Chains A and B, each alone.
Chain A
Amino acid sequence: MKHEIIMATAYFTVLFLSLASAVRWLRMRHLFPMFFAPIFVCYTLYELVICYQVKFGVFDNLDRYTQAWYNLPIWLHEGILLLEDVFCFILVRRERYVRRHSINVNSVADALNNVDCGLMYSEWDGTIVLINHKMWQLARIFSDVQYYNALDFWRMIISFNESDEAKRIDFTSWPAFLLKDNTVWSFERSILSDADKRYLEIVARDVTDLYNKRVNVEEEITELSSVQGRLQDVLKNISTTGNDEELLAYKVHIHDRLGNAILRTRQILRGSVQNFEEPARESILGLWSNTIKAFKNNRLEVEQNKEGSLAALYSQAETLGIELFMFGDFPVYNEVAIRAVREAMYNSIRHAYANSLTVESYKEDGGYRVHIYDDGKAHTDTVVEGGGLKSIRRAVEEQGGTMRVAVPDGVELYIFFKEEAK
């Protein structure tokens, strides 16, 4: 009888707990499949063995009820047990699914420990309420002391400088440290606000990749800076070197002409040229004339390089067929001012078909105020600044000045140069 009671109890317990689990009535639903289900499975297997033993007459003194129970067809026992096992298996699967897809205390703890960064949460007074495994590991690297207060921990972090395990580095605005394993960690602190409560959050992030990239970028910037310097020098010299080569070639050419002229003249003076008629005379005169002209122009080039500014402007205006009027104190040594007048001259001809350009300038507030206007007609109410005007504006503003474009009739430029650049 004892067996029947145990077995019946077992069967009903299985059924009850399974149903309870299914409706999530009992809070112990996790315990059942993990611990009790295997026990019941083992027990039912044991019962199966007993059934076989009864069937083959191992036990003699069984009452009739017991005998009747165990004399039921074996396939019925087996079927009941098989159903029980299947039911338990389904329950286990279900419980695993629920465990994975629902949030509970254990899942939160697991998740926090699995994140790649260190996390620490505390009450406003610093009492730690949550810390993950990574933060705990990091804290052990910085200090052997066990911290129970987040504020103390943060004070330790911001005052930490260097040890065998870690070294402070200047990387972000937050404290950052290079660890012995060549990883870089940055610590950040923030405040989390609930409806009526505030918490402290300390996060340690692995910024190794970012740090390595910054180191590489810094190295490249250093290299690029030196290269940029060299490139700028080269760019500055391109025109000069190109011109130098051309000049050298042309000077050789002029030299040859001069030699030729001298030789021809010498021949004439010595009387080796017998028929010194008019065509020959014209030829040698032309030779000397060209040579002298070349020498004159060569001298002019040197002079223009020194102080060509205003004279060159007037000369260019004359070449382009526009009259240039300049009044007042013009900043003649300011290259940008000269460029501005030149640009205005080009634009006056191209866009306003002007015949004259007027430049009025006077000293004011430690600078020069320059007003440039023409007698042409503007075709639009607004001016879109192209490459030339943009470039002038940039140059003026770099010098600390200002530039304004107005379109009353023609286009007018108002420029203030802060000081005269020599």
Chain B
Amino acid sequence: MTRVLIVDDSVTVRTLFESIIEGSDVYSLAGTLENAKAALPFCMRSPVDLILMDVYTKDRENGLEAAREIKKEFPDIKIIISTSLPEESFLEKAKAAGCESFWYKEVGELGLLDVMNRTMRGESVYPDTTPTVSVGLAKSVEFTPMEMKVLRELCNGKLNKDIAKELCMSENTVKFHINNMLQKAGYSNRYQLAIDAVEQKLIVPGF
């Protein structure tokens, strides 16, 4: 039996995952946690084969960061990142942390079970794209990767010069990208753009 640890701050979600696991013949429940930071101590005390890890857990604890630490200590434990946030960088961060799979939460047991089965067979299951959200008049897919990087820094409250320094580009280039995004979104200033991006959960500051 594959021992599964569920890390999610919502009791209802945890219950659903539990019912999926309990209804399966190949998985057993190792434990459930609501805080990602508790996952590593748990793994040090109890045997775990697979973790279903939420990104945004209780007390704003970062599931991706926890996954990275777990992978460092226990590289054999397989991790599936599950989230409903469309933040694009989560996919890259999950890969960088060494997580095997990534699953956008859906209502449907088969979706998750399928991902779990494939992950345990050694596959890496990642969605091709992030869910599309609208920022003003623009769809999130209309923003280029570089524009997304600039937008992420903007949403973290950085000034042009700081963004330029962080991304190794000139301030004029930063302005150019921001103006392009403003044109696409139809906003007149950067603050509206940043607020909408955060409201739509396209960017989650601090994560």
Contact = CB atoms under 8 A, between A and B. Distances in A.
Interface of A: 223-224, 227-228, 230-231, 234-235, 238-239, 241-243, 245-247, 249-254, 286, 290, 293-294, 297-298, 300-301, 304, 316, 319-322, 339, 342, 345-346, 349-350, 353, 388
A298 B15 CA distance: 9
Interface string B191-204: 10011001101001
B44 A246 contact: no
B38 interface: yes
A228 to B, nearest CB: 8
B11 A298 contact: yes
10 contacts: A227-B191, A235-B205, A235-B206, A242-B56, A242-B84, A246-B105, A298-B15, A320-B38, A320-B45, A321-B45
A239 B42 contact: no
A243 B15 CA distance: 14
B198 A246 contact: no
Given A293-B19, A301-B12, A319-B31, A249 B41 contact: no
B167 interface: no
A230 B15 contact: no
A266 B132 CA distance: 42
Given A242-B85, A250-B16, A346 B56 contact: no
Contacts of A322: 41, 45
A420 to B, nearest CB: 20
Instruction: Indicate the member of A297, A320, A339, A349 with the most B CB atoms within 10 Å.
Output: A320
Contact of A234 (B9, B15, B198): B198
B11 A239 contact: no
B60 interface: yes
B107 interface: yes
A312 to B, nearest CB: 8
A349 B33 CA distance: 16
Contacts of A346: 37-38, 40-41
A250 B107 contact: yes
B204 A320 contact: no
Contact of A250 (B13, B195, B199): B13
B172 to A, nearest CB: 19
Contact of B10 (A241, A246, A349): A246
Contact of B13 (A224, A246, A304): A246
The range of chain B's interface size is 35 or more
Interface in B1-34: 9-16, 19, 23, 31-33
B25 to A, nearest CB: 14
Given A247-B13, A249-B105, 16 more contacts: A223-B191, A224-B191, A231-B194, A231-B195, A239-B56, A242-B56, A243-B9, A246-B12, A247-B12, A250-B16, A290-B19, A297-B11, A316-B33, A322-B41, A349-B44, A350-B41
A304 B11 contact: yes
A71 to B, nearest CB: 81
A301 B196 CA distance: 30
B46 interface: yes
Contacts of A234: 195, 198-199
A223 B107 CA distance: 41
B59 interface: yes
Interface centre among A246, A247, A346 (most CB of B within 10 A): A246
Interface-centre pick from B15, B60, B198 (highest chain A CB count, 10 A):
B15
Contacts of B31: 319
A223 B192 CA distance: 11
Contacts of B23: 286, 290
Contacts of B101: none
Nearest to B19: A290
B12 A251 contact: yes
A319 B48 CA distance: 13
A231 B157 CA distance: 10
B35 interface: yes
Nearest to A347: B41
Nearest to A250: B12
A239 B206 CA distance: 13
Nearest to B15: A297
Contact of A293 (B15, B33, B107, B204): B15
